[in-house]
Amino acid sequence: MSKSSPRPQDHFDAIVIGSGPGGEGAAMGLSKAGKRVAVIERESTVGGGCTHWGTIPSKALRHTVSRIIEFNQSPIYTQNSKSIHSTFSQILSHAESVIGKQTRMRQGFYDRNQCTLLHGNAEFVDAHTLTVHHSDGSADTYTADHFVIATGSRPYQPADVDFSHPRIYDSDSILSLAHDPRHVMIYGAGVIGSEYASIFRGLGVKVDLINTRDRLLSFLDNEISDALSYHFGSSGVMIRNDETYERIEGTDDGVIVHLESGKKMKADCLLYANGRAGNTDKLNLSSVGLTPNSRGQLDVDSESYATEVGHIYAVGDVIGYPSLASAAYDQGRVVAEAICQGNANVRLIEHIPTGIYTIPEISSVGKTEQELTAEKVPYEVGRSLFKHLARAQIAGMDVGSLKILFHRDTREILGIHCFGERASEIIHIGQAIFEQKGEGNTIDYFVNTTFNYPTMAEAYRVAALNGLNRLF
């Protein structure tokens, strides 16, 4: 195919590759600053992996399952009627509905801000030129002064696992689960594996969770990790820690996992959820002098997210940690400011809250107990158990707790950790105080303010009083 010189209308101030949170944040910031922007999206609709395969569908599934559990465990509803039973395929419709709403809303952002939306696969030709290959076989060439790579990530697929087998899934293809398994094996007990373990177990499916590490979600505070392990165990999830597969064998009626420890495990299907890889392999980055690492990720400057090639930036999962939709959007905003002003004054906050949508949820911000102990920081702990809160009792939320870590001399808040329903919402109350500077960030705030009663927010007052009572 012959390449002709791009027309003036095919030149942009900036081209953003990918329409997930990172790409959207960059495109919106650039367009609102008056820049001429094009967004390239390989799929037929916008939103990226976050909207279509990751954050949105898994959280929509989790919400449905959580409501089913709540109904079935409430004596109010089950006194004179049978409990609800749903299958994974049945509850997918709610996720599809939410995905549709999100897609239409985000499409509106690009339309209103006059971003040119191009559908196809992007491939760099040189440092200021790329080609977009369309699904009908045609291709167009575009140039730009700046580029933002926001191509996201995909589930890691080791070469020795046959993902074409009808019973072997990754976290994308599991959303096309065609049958209703009675027994699911999940390989990888990170955030994604743990969330899907909650979903399947909540539907009454037998779950085996194979963890390649010595404890669940080891980056969490140990007490929270232990609480999740206990809750998983009490709900019937079988956890196998410190295990690695030797061979994964697909059969006519299921999957057999041969572990290096000599054990064998069998289930109706396998969800492989152990790692992700950056979507950079088809960008022809060598033509612009960029080399991704072994996981397909790009190194960037921590202040502006510029790559080694100064006018090319990268944000979101494609640069690795923290691999959160919320952080990716903010990274995109930083890049927009860097392009428009030459430098970025805005920064991501130092302590980004984690939100893990297991059943119950987990959320935390700041330091863990083990980190503070290793740093020899004299901290104290304040705890509040949900089962003692009036609002939790009304809602039947017996499981859960809030923990505040604070300096025993200055009373500065050092970390907040929450386990239980609505944890990802509850954490932001504490985060708002945690982010204050100087005397504004002390545990005394939670004692001296007045909370609505009854609320889950009241857990902060209870935990603060509990912690202050430990001082002497």
The 10s digit of each residue's pLDDT in 390-436 is 999 998 888 999 999 999 999 999 999 999 999 999 999 999 999 99
Q: Would you call 257 exposed, middle or buried from its count of C-beta atoms within 10 A (0-12, 13-18, 19+)?
A: buried
What percent helix, strand, coil does the chain show, rounded to 5?
Answer: 35, 25, 40
Residue 251 has pLDDT above 90, yes or no: yes
Residue 7 has pLDDT above 90, yes or no: no
103 is in an annotated binding site: no
- The predicted model gives 92-107 an average pLDDT of 93
CA of 124: how far to CAs of 62, 140, 366, in Å?
39, 12, 40
Residue 440 has pLDDT above 90, yes or no: no
Segment 227-248, tens digit of pLDDT:
999 999 999 999 999 999 999 9
396 is in an annotated binding site: no
Domain with CATH 3.30.390.30 in the chain: 360-468
286 is in an annotated binding site: no
46 is in an annotated binding site: yes
48 is in an annotated binding site: yes
Residue 456 has pLDDT above 70, yes or no: yes
Domain with CATH 3.50.50.60 in the chain: 9-155+277-341, 168-274
**Position of tokens 């000599």?**
262
381 is in an annotated binding site: no
Segment 279-325, tens digit of pLDDT:
999 999 999 999 999 999 999 998 999 999 999 999 999 999 999 99
190 is in an annotated binding site: yes
25 is in an annotated binding site: no
Are the C-beta atoms of residues 60 and 94 closer than 8 Å to each other?
yes
CATH class of 168-274: alpha beta
192 is in an annotated binding site: yes
317 is in an annotated binding site: yes
303 is in an annotated binding site: no
- The predicted model gives 215-229 an average pLDDT of 96
In the beta sheet, which residues pair with residue 122? 132
CATH 3.40.50.720 assigned to 9-155+277-341: no
CATH class of 360-468: alpha beta
pTM, 2 dp? 0.94
Q: How far apart are CA 415 and CA 421, in angstroms?
A: 19
415 is in an annotated binding site: no
189 is in an annotated binding site: yes
Under the banding of pLDDT at 50, 70 and 90, the label for residue 8 is low
Conformation bin of residue 391: beta by default, left when phi > 0, alpha when psi is -120 to 50: alpha
Instruction: State residue 101's pLDDT score.
Output: 95
Under the banding of pLDDT at 50, 70 and 90, the label for residue 438 is confident
49 is in an annotated binding site: yes
Instruction: State residue 74's pLDDT score.
Output: 77
215 is in an annotated binding site: no
Under the banding of pLDDT at 50, 70 and 90, the label for residue 1 is very low
Mean of per-residue pLDDT scores for the chain: 94
Residue 4 has pLDDT above 70, yes or no: no
255 is in an annotated binding site: no
254 is in an annotated binding site: no
